[in-house]
A and B are shown apart, each in its own frame.
Chain A
């Protein structure tokens, strides 16, 4: 089941979330997302596998603002990582490394490769 997988990879207790939305309020990338961070948690708790096709985990920039602001200390960045990992571990890359613009700084390129390829 999805919830179990996410809990195992992230190490987080998703049931601690009471849907206050502070993660979403603090998220600088929420305007780009199709599901808000708190909605992602709810979908996972409901074992809604469609969340695996959401754009949200691929928009997350791992800035940790959500986890820092969470009153229940849920580290949402780890949950986003778990969703990415579930896809990437099936050998489905989110980006084609050959198409990366090589004039960008290394820290951007390596970060994208680590977050978007398996």
Chain B
């Protein structure tokens, strides 16, 4: 099965490992992620001001590009891209908004409608294929960390918004043990990393220790910002809290590759500066 694939900026820079592992692992279970020929930044965070149309244009333009390439479904892997594109899809379901945007963006083809999906949603129908590809069962205990943008607002949730379990099912299918914990859908602090790093350091400590107390040996996520925050802030946490042990953070696609026995080299340039 082939899907249109929207990578977004971060999967091409900070989160190359996430993308490489996704393409490899999805191919093994019969899913082809076909990158759009042309795409732009999604805008990262959906604008919540009722009268701010211009901030929605970037996401909608991406939906139009996917539609022009003949896709009726567009897959994002980055949780933030998923959220922004999916909320744009919801926005464009309203007749009034569609007419307004289509006439405003007259340089583009008319938007007709497209379905935005997150990579995890595709796995719901693929558990047999996933299980049959496992060569090295994971074994360890993992905490599935959803964060915010896959689940909220609830109109765009990929799973039960207060008690999701798609990632837990994946972990179990890969031969790992998925622990239950209360903070799996709590925010990591998100873009506060730019303005208020200390707050994100505290969030990191709180989230990781809660996962650990509930038995986790590692955390699994699909959001490159959760991944970055939880990983990068651990060095600060260590300074504040004596005896804090580092917790490994993985993308769910890396877990798939590990269990499938695919060799994926870690990218050296994952932390490159902006060009």
Contacts and interface: CB of A to CB of B under 8 A. Distances in A.
Interface string A47-66: 00000000000110111110
Interface string B1-42: 000000011100111000000000000000000000000010
Contact of B45 (A65, A103, A114): A114
B170 interface: no
Interface stretch (A5-13, A14-22, A36-44): A5-13
B162 to A, nearest CB: 8
Contacts of B48: 10, 62, 75, 77-78, 80-82
A32 B14 CA distance: 28
B106 interface: no
Interface stretch (B63-71, B108-116, B127-135, B196-204): B196-204
B13 to A, nearest CB: 6
Contact of B194 (A28, A32, A81, A95): A95
Interface in A66-112: 67-68, 75, 77-78, 80-82, 85, 94-95, 100-112
Interface residues of A, number: 42
A9 B191 contact: no
A58 B159 CA distance: 29
Nearest to B183: A28
A85 B218 CA distance: 39
Interface string B238-270: 000000000000000000000000000000000
Contacts of B274: 102, 106, 109
A111 B152 contact: no
B200 to A, nearest CB: 9
Contacts of B50: 8-11, 78
Contacts of B78: 107
Contacts of A64: 148, 152-153
Contact of A68 (B10, B152, B193, B195): B152
13 contacts: A10-B48, A29-B199, A32-B196, A59-B192, A61-B187, A62-B190, A63-B187, A68-B153, A77-B48, A104-B228, A108-B225, A114-B43, A115-B191
Interface of A: 8-11, 28-29, 31-32, 58-59, 61-65, 67-68, 75, 77-78, 80-82, 85, 94-95, 100-112, 114-116
Interface of B: 8-10, 13-15, 41, 43-45, 47-52, 55, 78, 80-81, 147-148, 152-154, 161-162, 185-187, 189-196, 199, 202-203, 224-225, 228, 271, 273-274
